[in-house]
Amino acid sequence: MEIARIKSITEYHRFRGLPKPEHSLISLVDYSQLQFSEDSKVVNLVMDFYSIALKRDIGAKLHYGQQIYDFDEGLMSFLAPGQVLRIEKEPGSSDSGSGYLLQIHPDFLWGFSLAKQIKKYSFFDYSVHEALFLSGREEMVILTIFENIRQEYNANIDSFSQGLIVSQIELLLKYCERFYNRQFMTRKISSHQMLTKVENFLNSYFSAEEQSEGGLLSVNKVADAMNVSSDYLSSMLKQLTGKNAQEHIHQKLIEKAKEKLSSTYLSVSEIAYGLGFEHPQSFSKLFKIKTNVSPLEFRKSFN
């Protein structure tokens, strides 16, 4: 798969047949202005800047992670620098569509708290698996913020411009965080089904006798089995149970360790290796953190 790396917002504008951006570090594009190359039906991109998009009725499919999204309804996507974006133009489709594409180079945020805080918005990580679907009211809220950014972006630049735009970006992200939380809540049934699948997977994994062959169970391995990203899995579990994916793994691991300590004559080292630990000391340390007693002290309580 050939991937085009887009290093600057100006370069992206040239690539998509857009006028030169007003500012080299930030751009707000009307989707109706985007152009597809006639000889390129599939585009694979990696961009060195943040991309926040609200799209509707675009004649293309967007692939990121393990999902494919059509744009016949209001849908937002979030890409962080370095993520792979795959766009497939639909056969016979036009380039028309509606929405906004906001692109922000990390340098634009320097000197503002958002430079660090933007990395805390988890949807930039698991957006490659979970886009944000908007209700009509929510879409109007987002469009209003985009319009505020557009007006400031097109106005005469002064000493207040950057701060005002950054404030609007921060407001946009906070609303998106709220709407993502609503999305998690409205998908509660499917989330509970996912929780059941996770529990079944962990029970099956720790009931097998070959855990050590694959090493210590990781969040990524569980997420792969669920066909979601690790960040999405942890967010979903935290929302439902108050524990993230790693804490769920540790809970099952400690349960299995207690079972072996209380019902077998295996040494602590044998139990540690059997659970996938490379070093028994690491197992003993985790066990004491989670139970407040060492493995041997726990075993003695059953004698």
* DSSP structure string for the chain: ---EEE-SHHHHHHHTTPPPPSBTTEEEEEGGG----TT-SEEEEEESSEEEEEEESEEEEEEETTEEEEESS-EEEEE-TT-EEEEEEPTT--S--EEEEEEE-GGGGTTSTHHHHGGG-THHHHTTT--EE--HHHHHHHHHHHHHHHHHHHSPP-TTHHHHHHHHHHHHHHHHHHHHHHHHHHTHHHHHHHHHHHHHHHHHHHHSS-GGGG-S--HHHHHHHHTS-HHHHHHHHHHHHS--HHHHHHHHHHHHHHHHHHH----HHHHHHHTT-S-HHHHHHHHHHHHSS-HHHHHHTT-
Q: How far is CA 286 from CA 208, 238, 273, in A?
A: 21, 21, 14
Q: Can you give the pLDDT at residue 215?
A: 76
pLDDT per residue, tens digit, the chain (303 aa), is 467 789 999 999 998 888 898 888 999 988 877 766 555 566 777 889 999 989 876 555 555 544 444 444 568 888 888 877 776 665 555 555 678 899 999 999 999 999 999 988 888 864 445 678 888 899 999 999 999 999 998 877 777 889 999 999 999 999 999 998 887 766 655 666 778 888 889 888 887 765 556 678 899 999 888 888 888 788 878 877 778 889 989 988 998 888 888 888 899 999 999 888 889 999 999 999 999 999 999 888 766
Amino acid symbol at 7: K
What are the residues facing 101 on neighbouring strands?
29, 53
Q: Can you give the pLDDT at residue 148?
A: 94
Query: In this structure, what are the phi and psi dihedrals at residue 180, rounded to the nearest 5 degrees?
Result: -65, -40
Q: Can you give the pLDDT at residue 136?
A: 85
Rounded Cα distance, 166 and 174, in Å: 12
Q: Can you give the pLDDT at residue 241?
A: 79
Determine the straight-line distance between the first and last CA of the chain, rounded to whole angstroms: 61
Q: Can you give the pLDDT at residue 128?
A: 45
Decide: 75 and 132 in contact? Cβ < 8 Å. Answer: yes
Cβ-proximal residues to 297 (8 Å cutoff; 6+ apart), any chain: none
Q: How far is CA 59 from the centre of its chain?
A: 25
Q: Can you give the pLDDT at residue 57?
A: 62
